Amino acid sequence: MDEKQELLSLLSTDAREDVDDIARQLGTDAETVESLLDELESDGTVHGYQAVIDWDNTDTEHVAAFVELNVELDRETGYKEIADRIAKFPEVESLRLVSGDYDFAIEVTGDSMQDVSQFISEQIAPIPEITQTVTHFIMETYKEAGIDFGDRDDDDRLSVSP
Amino acid sequence: MTLQPNDRVADTPESGIRKFFELAEERDDVISLGVGEPDFSAPWAARTAAIHSLEAGKTSYTANRGKLELRQEIANHVEQWELDYDPDSEILVTTGASEAVDLALRTFVDPGDTVAVHQPTYISYKPGVRFAGGEPLPVPTGADNDFVLTPEALREAGAADADALILCYPNNPTGAVMNAEEVAAVAEFCVDNDIDVIADEIYAALTYDGDHTSIATMPNMRERTVVINGFSKAYAMTGLRLGYAMGPPDAVEAMNRVHQYTMLSAPTTAQYAAIEALRSCEESVDEMATAFNRRRRFVLSRFEEMGLDCFTAKGAFYAFPACGGDDEAFAENLLEEQGVAVVPGSVFGPGGTGHLRISYATGMRDLKEAMNRIDAFVADR
């Protein structure tokens, strides 16, 4: 693995590390990490750094839904054009073109189920190329971004062993 | 007096690690860098295989040598180190690598035989040699040579007359590794002086800079070497107690004789887990090794920053910085004042005096905090 790949692999496990600690773990110096980060951010490889939150553990109202979208393309409009329009809504958390029975898989969030339904029916469904939407409200999240919400840090090893 | 331990047992002191365990257990704010096992759990696929085997009622003994399926997987697995062993006649599955070490000693050591043990090293070898009726001969290694064993050190310690050598690289407690050239030099010494080798390679998969070289791959060494490995460290399966020994057919047959009368067979559930571990868990192993490697670089760089002299450990999950002077007092005061548990190097033999064994088998967050506390402790002195 080259330095850039190692940095990406480390960030994908924990992006909260400060630059000095990243440098120590990669066996390089802070300046190198800074410049690699600049490069990765400006060339569109790294788009951001976010916490993985279990919203059910907070007092915040947070409702999310996966929505399947079917679309009809024509001469002027391809997937890219449709995706660009959908992606602009802040309610849309993720947007992917997928293989299988439908075309786009999107994740939508809001403060309530009504909020989310309303957004789908008023903003997404009316887009002319969209022929069908199927909304799946998320009932419970068990794992996200590779992190199992059920895993707790209980270390039952002996504190000192040979 | 009833139940009087025999002289060998009576003369073997309790491990120095015990004392630090008890001290650390007295407090609940301790970050421990004293743990000799991974902080990960065994890969889920391996655990699932164990669960399924239990559900299917696979709770009887296996063949003495272990399930043939497992021995076949082991044979494939060790090819990465250029080791070639026949699953039928040259591999014995044991209850942890610990049993394999004990078996080798009890099988090949005659009363009064001398067994060279490089120092500092894992605490069980010397007692194991004594329990088998042999005499351990300490061979010092030091920080000046990155804790690598050399023919000169062997010669100087009088090991030319030894009957056997226990070789443990990557090493616990130092994290030292030996490159091909260094292994070749020791191999030549063993061939020239007709010394058998018990090679404990339990940390082989945790070699971070270059590849692990097994001494059994050196010219004329295969016939005089028992290679020992297991699932505890690389697969995070310490509690499942599973290891293996590999050697020429006659040697394995002889070890199996002791094994069949004393252990019968290694734990069956663990064998099912191990088969799956070897078949499908390479990715988990790589992830763990990558995490260890990052932490290794992290602690080495922190020690450098705080001015603690530490050679570049390249294997296992230990660093072995010099703390100067009385390592036991250092470790006790560090625990007392900063709540960080480490193991004093002298526990691992005279060569370890003045050093600390730092296990980085601990999550980054704790590791960072522990390093800050050690930094503060060192700065205060």
Domain locations in chain B as residue ranges? 7-42+283-380, 44-280
- Subunit contact A24:B301, Cβ cutoff 8 A: yes
Quick check: helix, strand or coil at residue A14?
coil
Contact (CB, 8 A) for A71 and A97:
no
Determine contact, residues B308/B323, Cβ cutoff 8 Å: yes
C-alpha closest to that of A160 among B126, B19, B53, B258: B19
In this complex, which of A14, A155, A159 lies closest to B21 when CB atoms are compared?
A: A159
Reported as a single tens digit per residue, the pLDDT across B276-335 is 999 999 999 999 999 999 999 999 999 999 999 999 999 999 999 999 889 999 999 999
B329 Cβ neighbours under 8 A, 6+ residues apart = none
Looking at residue B371, its pLDDT comes to 98
C-alpha pair distances (Å), B169 with each of A31, A162, B110, B201: 35, 16, 25, 6
The predicted model scores a pTM of 0.94
Topology of the domain covering A3-42? Arc Repressor Mutant, subunit A (1.10.10)
**Best A5, A20, A160 residue to mutate vs chain B (most B CBs within 10 Å):** A160
Name the residue among B17, B297, B363 with its Cβ closest to that of A162: B17
Answer with the residue of higher pLDDT: A2 or A110: A110
- The C-alpha atoms of residue B151 and residue B139 are separated, in whole angstroms, by 10
Determine the pLDDT at residue B381.
83
CATH 3.30.70.920 positions along chain A are 55-141
Instruction: For residues A124 and B10, give the distance between their C-alpha atoms in angstroms, rounded to a whole number.
Output: 80
Identity at A114, one-letter amino acid code: Q
Give the model's pLDDT for residue B1. 77
- Residue B6 is given by DSSP the state P
Domain B44-280: which topology? Aspartate Aminotransferase; domain 2 (3.40.640)
The reply to whether A25 touches chain B by the CB within 8 Å rule is: yes
Chain B within 8 Å of A11 (Cβ-Cβ)? no
Residue A43 touches chain B, beta carbons under 8 Å: no
Q: Starting at the earlier edge strand, list the strands of the sheet with B318-319.
A: B318-319, B356-359, B343-344
What is the phi/psi pair of residue A28, to 5°? -135, -170
Q: Are A24 and B21 in contact (CB < 8 Å)?
A: no
Packing angle between helix B364-380 and helix B327-338, nearest 10 degrees? Answer: 110
Say if the Cβ atoms of A160 and B364 lie within 8 Å: no
Dihedral sign for Cα B11, B348, B196, B236, please.
Answer: positive
pLDDT reading at A153 higher than 80? no
The arithmetic mean of pLDDT across residues A135-139, rounded, is 97
Look at domain A55-141 and name its CATH class. alpha beta
Structure confidence at residue B209 (pLDDT): 86
Among residues 190-229 of chain B, which lie with CB inside 8 Å of chain A?
A: none
Inter-chain residue contact B35 with A25, CB threshold 8 Å: no
B7-42+283-380 belongs to which CATH class? alpha beta
Number of Cβ atoms within 10 Å of the Cβ of A117: 16
Start and end residues for every CATH 1.10.10 domain found in chain A: 3-42
Band (A152; pLDDT cuts 50, 70, 90): confident
- B49: closest CA of chain A, how far (Å): 20
Say what the pLDDT of residue B219 is. Answer: 98
Q: Report yes or no: B95 at the A interface, CB cutoff 8 Å.
A: no
pLDDT for residue A155: 85
- The answer to whether residues B151 and B185 touch, using CB atoms and an 8 Å cutoff, is yes
**CA of A136, closest CA in chain B: separation in Å?**
29
Closest residue in chain B to residue A154, using alpha carbons only: B39
Query: Which residue numbers in chain B have pLDDT < 50?
Result: none
Note the maximum CA span of chain B: 60
Residues A24, B302: C-beta atoms closer than 8 Å: yes
**Helix axes of A19-26 and A30-42: crossing angle, nearest 10 degrees:** 110
Contact B162, B110 (CB under 8 A): no
Contacts of B123 in chain A (CB under 8 A): 162
> From the DSSP assignment, how many helices (H) and strands (E) are in chain B?
13, 12
Provide the pLDDT for residue B374: 98
Q: How many whole angstroms from its chain centre is CA B128?
A: 14
The pLDDT assigned to B350 comes to 82
Mean pLDDT in residue range A12-33: 96
Which long-range contacts link B50-55 to residues 24+ away (Cβ below 8 Å)? B50/B240, B50/B269, B50/B270, B50/B272, B50/B273, B50/B276, B52/B272, B53/B268, B53/B269, B53/B272, B53/B273, B54/B269
Give the mean pLDDT of chain A. Answer: 95
For chain B, say whether A27 makes contact (Cβ under 8 Å). Answer: yes
CB B55 within 8 A of CB B30: no
Report the residue of chain A nearest B305, measured CA to CA: A24
